[in-house]
Amino acid sequence: MIGGGYVGLVSAACFAEFGNQVAVVETHPGRLAALRKGEIPIYEPGLDRLVAENIKADRLSFGDDIAHAVEGAEAIFLAVGTPPRNGDGHADLTYVFAAAEQVARAMTGYAVIVTKSTVPVGTGRRISEIVSRLRPELDFDMASNPEFLREGSAIGDFMKPDRVVIGTDTDRPGGAARAQEIMRRLYRPLYVIEAPILFTSLESSELIKYAANSFLAMKISFINEMADLCERVGADVHELARGIGLDGRIGRKFLHAGPGYGGSCFPKDTLALMRIAQEAGASSRLVEATVQVNDARKASMGARIMAACGGNVRGKTIAVFGLTFKPETDDMRDAASIPIIHRLVENGAEIRAFDPAGMTAAKPLLPDHNVTYCVDAPDAATGADAILVLTEWNEFRALSPERLRGLMQGRVVIDLRNIYDPAAMDTAGLDYSSIGRPR
């Protein structure tokens, strides 16, 4: 497994748990040092136990020596980052191609090279060309096996997936069969639980990943637009989401209105899909609209918060509950908290912030003045003029409105994740606003 980040580490630990022998190659010195000590450099529920058990069982190891890791490997996964390329929205494939070259130089015998990273259509074939150019004599096959796990529930998503997608080079029938056989063995326990395992061409598999993320992002932008409409016409977005979501053709999931989607994948993958379509001469107008709606929504959140605070936040203390882009992760990539807190501080607010897992990652991304990091949510709320909920961690739900009212100096609660009951907040005397619900 080349890359021991969110996807590489989870995939490696889960493949080891399936009974496979897995060697992880990680080049980031801090991450590798932690992994070698048996520490997990990211926050992901259950991962520490799974990694420890599989190290103990001698199925999982970590190092920076790629030659050692690929020696005798039947499958070599590339799970390195594919961040947006500066400025143009394309996926930056620098890490993928560099890893592919390292793998090609290190391989000693046949293996299937698998992209686990999210990569644009055609990348598998380009990797094939790189490997063949560097090592013309080498016998290998290429596969695409995109990952659909979510941070925060990554192990469950990997172990009990809705489906596994495996693309192989169907232009080479013999090679495709050989690669498929190895991939089938790797995922054998999933056949037992009857998880659908879908074999496709390389191109379909690569595009499925972008299409899935873009469709989910589109659902979120849709419900966010509906939330705005609900506010205008006095409807309730929760009732609306349930009312449409119970139609099996629509589905109930991914219909939670909020401050706009963030994270390491939806923002970059929607942009990358637009570029893929543009280069192919195809249209991607729905995805473009999805991105525009999300960007506008994120930009409008600052004004919404200022309005809830009476039009001005200068000199006001705002308690911020949650900094990460979603709960149960320490990942701050493209989190809504970043632009929002910058805007509030620029307008003179004092921030008292708390996040259960993300504060270390948040500090370099947030203003270096006017932000105090608190020990817990009640600490953040103490003496605050307003509370702002940015991430729906369960421990925030458990706080009673009366307790919040008692801790605060002011009465304003702005809940961008709809975790509190408006009636209970009213009863406690709080001035509560949320998303897409009547006041």
Per CB under 6 A, contacts with ligand UGA among 225-254 are 254
Q: Which does 273 bind (CB under 5 to 8 A by kind): ligand UGA, ligand NAD, none?
A: none
Q: Which does 401 bind (CB under 5 to 8 A by kind): ligand UGA, ligand NAD, none?
A: none
The least CB distance from residue 118 to ligand NAD, in Å, is 4
Q: Is 206 annotated as a binding residue?
A: no
Closest to ligand NAD by CB, 11 vs 221, is 11
Q: Which does 261 bind (CB under 5 to 8 A by kind): ligand UGA, ligand NAD, none?
A: ligand UGA
Q: Indicate which single residue of 16, 104, 230, 265 sits in contact with ligand UGA (rule: CB under 6 A).
A: 265
Long-range contacts of 196-200, Cβ-Cβ distance < 8 Å, separation of 24 or more: 196/162, 196/163, 196/164, 197/163, 197/164, 197/166, 198/163, 198/164, 198/165, 198/166, 199/166, 199/167, 199/168, 200/165, 200/166, 200/167, 200/168
What's the rounded Cα separation, in Å, for the pair 224 and 234? 15
Catalytic residues: 265
Please list, in sequence order, all residues whose beta carbon lies within 8 angstroms of the beta carbon of residue 274, skipping any fewer than 6 positions away: 89, 284, 287, 288, 291
The least CB distance from residue 398 to ligand NAD, in Å, is 26
Contact window for ligand UGA (CB under 6 A) among 18-26, 78-86, 144-152, 170-178: 144-152
224, burial (CB in 10 Å: exposed 0-12, middle 13-18, buried 19+): buried
Q: At what angle do helices 266-280 and 285-308 cross, to 10 degrees?
A: 150
Tokens for 208, please give them. 């499925």
Q: Indicate which single residue of 261, 321, 354, 420 sits in contact with ligand UGA (rule: CB under 6 A).
A: 261
Contact 329, 157 (CB under 8 A): no
Per CB under 6 A, contacts with ligand UGA among 316-355 are 325-326
Tokens for 179, please give them. 């690669």
Q: Which does 422 bind (CB under 5 to 8 A by kind): ligand UGA, ligand NAD, none?
A: none
Closest to ligand NAD by CB, 25 vs 240, is 25
The least CB distance from residue 219 to ligand UGA, in Å, is 7
Q: Is 94 annotated as a binding residue?
A: no
- Read off the amino acid at residue 268: K
Q: Is 268 annotated as a binding residue?
A: yes
The least CB distance from residue 53 to ligand UGA, in Å, is 24
Q: Give the sign of the dihedral formed by CA 380, CA 385, CA 388, CA 392.
A: positive
Quick count: other Cβ atoms within 10 Å of Cβ 397?
12
Q: Is 68 annotated as a binding residue?
A: no
Q: Which does 326 bind (CB under 5 to 8 A by kind): ligand UGA, ligand NAD, none?
A: ligand UGA
The least CB distance from residue 114 to ligand NAD, in Å, is 12
Q: Is 391 annotated as a binding residue?
A: no
Task: Say whether residue 255 binds ligand UGA (CB under 6 A).
Answer: yes
* Closest among 112, 82, 84, 111 to 97, alpha carbons compared: 82
Q: Which residues of 167-190 are buried (b: 16+ CB within 10 A; e: fewer)?
A: bbbbeeeebbebbbebbeebbeeb
Sites of contact with ligand NAD (CB under 6 A): 2-8, 25-28, 31, 79-82, 95, 98-99, 102, 117-118, 147, 149, 151, 264-265
Q: Is 78 annotated as a binding residue?
A: no
Q: Is 342 annotated as a binding residue?
A: no
Q: Is 257 annotated as a binding residue?
A: yes
Pairing of β 111-115 and β 412-415: unpaired
Q: Which does 262 bind (CB under 5 to 8 A by kind): ligand UGA, ligand NAD, none?
A: ligand UGA
Q: Indicate which single residue of 11, 168, 180, 213 sits in contact with ligand UGA (rule: CB under 6 A).
A: 213
Interface residues with ligand UGA (CB under 6 A) are 118, 147-151, 213, 216, 220, 254-256, 258, 261-266, 325-326
Residues marked as binding for substrate?
A: 148-151, 209, 254-258, 262, 326
Residues marked as binding for NAD(+)?
A: 31, 82, 118, 151, 268, 333
